[in-house]
Amino acid sequence: MATPVTSPAFLSPITVQPSSKVTSRSLQCSNRSALHDGFARNSLSRAPRMSVSEVETPAKKTDAGRAVIVIGTRGSPLALAQANETKRRLIDAFPKLASDGAIEIKIIHTTGDMVLDKALADIGGKGLFTKEIDIAQLKGEIDIAVHSMKDVPTWLPDGIILPCMLPREDTRDVFISNKATCIEDLPDGSVIGSASLRRQSQILAKNPTLKVVNFRGNVQTRLRKLNEGKVDATLLALAGLSRMGMTEYATSIISHQEMLPAVAQGAIGITCREDDQTMLDFLAPLNHKETKTCVGCERSFLAKLDGSCRTPIAGQARIDEDGVLQFRGLVAKPDGSEMFETTRSGKPEDAIAIGTDAGIELKAKMGEDFFAV
């Protein structure tokens, strides 16, 4: 059963930050080499860097007037909350970075944020939320990048590594509606707003009479659309609401048994250039080993299935009280008419192999034409 959450009788209007919107275009995911267009890897122009041991008391900008650490992020309220959490953790680990100007947060607008009138699957996929940030990182315009891990492709561009993940938030989804307390209470034919094929497939498996419509934009935008009556309900990640202090908008929390989360849901990942030892030193104390282990298991499962936002795939790994890694994975048809699941358990140090093996099993079960329309 969904867990009820104390919430307002109605969803209060939200102040939405203005954002630019681009009309529909034919956009496709670029491969790794496209990230290097327009500049050469060996000709990056970067400001002088200080090592961790050289950070002053208090830290100041470099002689070139550049912050000690420049954090790259998308511009949504959730993305900025995550970037500021990263900044806070850096200052906690290195108090000398508390000085004004020592850490700069730089907003980078991605194609995925700007094209809001089409489904992600129709404009190229999740890589559209990271490509522009990756380019800025390889050019040396930013030092580290803060990402929602569920938006990060299973491959990383040459020259970029993912050495750090912050402690994971609650990975469950939440149900939000003015008309019902859970999915099961919605009348037949109700409209649910969601851009996630993972959520769509699991919703339609419960009740195929429900209609799931594309519902994109940041959290505030989606809540506003719900208030305006454009849909009867929507689903969001509890982690995002928690990070923005907005959990009161959840009508109920959906258990993992009812709705398996997205791979890497609730996790924040931080990338840097592979040759930047200074940033590696700054990020080392921030890394949460258990989160990185579990997300690594889930991403290896996704990679083996060749997953993208065109494929409804869910996966969740956790380490139980006995120190055993428990994994559950799922793949479904978008209409929820067919679904395959698998479970695995093993040693945390075998996380990648566990996820890979689970992916191999489901790939064999579903066959080559499973997603054919």
Residue 12, both tokens: 């209060």
User: Could you tell me if residue 260 is inside a domain?
Assistant: no
User: Could you tell me if residue 24 is inside a domain?
Assistant: no
Higher pLDDT, 121 or 71: 71
- Residue 362 belongs to domain with CATH number: 3.30.160.40
pLDDT band at 34 (very low <50, low <70, confident <90, very high): very low
pLDDT band at 246 (very low <50, low <70, confident <90, very high): very high
User: Could you tell me if residue 188 is inside a domain?
Assistant: yes
Catalytic residues: 151
Residue 253, both tokens: 């929390």
Q: Are residues 46 and 159 in the same domain?
A: yes
- Residue 188 belongs to domain with CATH number: 3.40.190.10
pLDDT of residue 31: 37
**By the 8 A CB rule, do 21 and 116 touch?**
yes
pLDDT of residue 96: 95
How far lies 103's CA from each of 40, 263, 309, 333, 350, in Å?
27, 30, 33, 45, 36
Q: Are residues 85 and 46 in the same domain?
A: yes
User: Could you tell me if residue 147 is inside a domain?
Assistant: yes
Q: Are residues 182 and 146 in the same domain?
A: no
Q: Are residues 176 and 217 in the same domain?
A: yes
In the block, tokens 């969803």 appear at 11
pLDDT of residue 55: 56
**Interval 59-81 mean pLDDT:** 83
Q: Are residues 146 and 182 in the same domain?
A: no
Q: Are residues 276 and 127 in the same domain?
A: yes
pLDDT of residue 38: 34
Domain that holds residue 208: 3-17+170-254
